[in-house]
Amino acid sequence: SAVISQKPSRDICQRGTSLTIQCQVDSQVTMMFWYRQQPGQSLTLIATANQGSEATYESGFVIDKFPISRPNLTFSTLTVSNMSPEDSSIYLCSAGQGAYEQYFGPGTRLTVT
Amino acid sequence: AQKITQTQPGMFVQEKEAVTLDCTYDTSDPSYGLFWYKQPSSGEMIFLIYQGSYDQQNATEGRYSLNFQKARKSANLVISASQLGDSAMYFCAMKLSYGKLTFGQGTILTVHP
């Protein structure tokens, strides 16, 4: 199984600022995913982070708001830009090597004031 | 389009008893995987069990078993001998061949002593 770490674990940010979340996997993986979980809601996929190419964004999410980097097969970052209180959520990084596995990092709990 | 439905917003169970959490899915893709995750109040997503669409037998992992009924498109999670530590949110999710997970709305399980 893959072990996934995220930094920071939580943060409180002012509106209008940006926060970059880091995700590290302990083994090489082809695809990494970024999810958002708004308070009391289920998980929603933001984008798939592809190594060597641009991220693939889901409907409702755009690169200007959530730029993603994937410099190698074990690391990715998600930036939440120009934050508003509506961006207050848990952001989760996910990865898995095969069709039968998908693991998650511990999440980043973001509060925007 | 694929869809996952969890119709039980909340479930209650007595300690040491078994409980079934319902999950139905919809996809036209013949190849898919079904996952169950546990999310305690800390926010982390803990992988519990996986069932592949071509698996002939129901998956089991310790106290967790997956009641897979392909014709009915259901993948219910059975937790045997419930413990107080099982109190959490539980998510059912489906993964198609291109890798991303689609989640249900979740079920909050409360275990009473």
Asked if the Cβ–Cβ distance from A99 to B97 is below 8 Å, we say: yes
Lowest mean pLDDT among A49-53, A89-93, B15-19, B102-106: A49-53
More confident residue, A96 or B46: B46
DSSP states of B27-65 as a string?
-S-S--EEEEEEE-TT---EEEEEEETT-SS--EETTEE
Output the CA–CA distances (angstroms, integers) from residue B98 to A87, B21, B33, in the order listed: 27, 27, 11
Smallest Cα distance from B66 to chain A, Å: 14
Q: What's the rounded Cα separation, in Å, for the pair A19 and A73?
A: 22
| Segment B75-104, tens digit of pLDDT | 999 999 999 999 999 999 999 866 789 999
* Model pLDDT, residue B1: 75
Interface of B with A in 61-100 (CB under 8 A): 91, 93, 95, 97, 99-100
Q: What is chain B's mean pLDDT, rounded?
A: 95
User: Which range (A44-53, B33-42, B62-71, B75-84) has the least confidence?
Assistant: A44-53
Residues of A in contact with B53 (CB under 8 A): none
Q: Cis (ω within 30 of 0) for the bond into A8?
A: yes
pLDDT of residue B98: 63
Q: How does pLDDT run across A29-63, given as a tens digit for each residue?
A: 888 999 999 999 999 999 999 888 889 999 999 99
Mutation target vs B (from A43, A90, A108, A109; most B CBs, 10 A cutoff): A43
Contact at CB, B100 and A45, closer than 8 angstroms: yes
Chain A residue numbers with beta carbons less than 8 Å from the beta carbon of B45 are 43, 92, 94, 104, 107
DSSP state of A66: S
Q: Which chain A residue is nearest to residue B42, measuring alpha carbons?
A: A106
CB contact under 8 A, A42 and B104: yes
Tokens of B52: 């592949």
B35 with A107: Cβ contact below 8 A: no
Record: contact A102-B95, CB cut-off 8 A = yes
**pLDDT given for residue A1 in this prediction:** 76
Q: Which pairs from B28-34 meet CB under 8 Å and 24+ separation? A: B29/B2, B29/B96, B29/B97, B31/A99, B31/B96, B31/B97, B32/B2, B32/B94, B32/B95, B32/B96, B32/B97, B33/A99, B33/A100, B33/B94, B33/B95, B34/B66, B34/B68, B34/B75, B34/B92, B34/B93, B34/B94, B34/B95
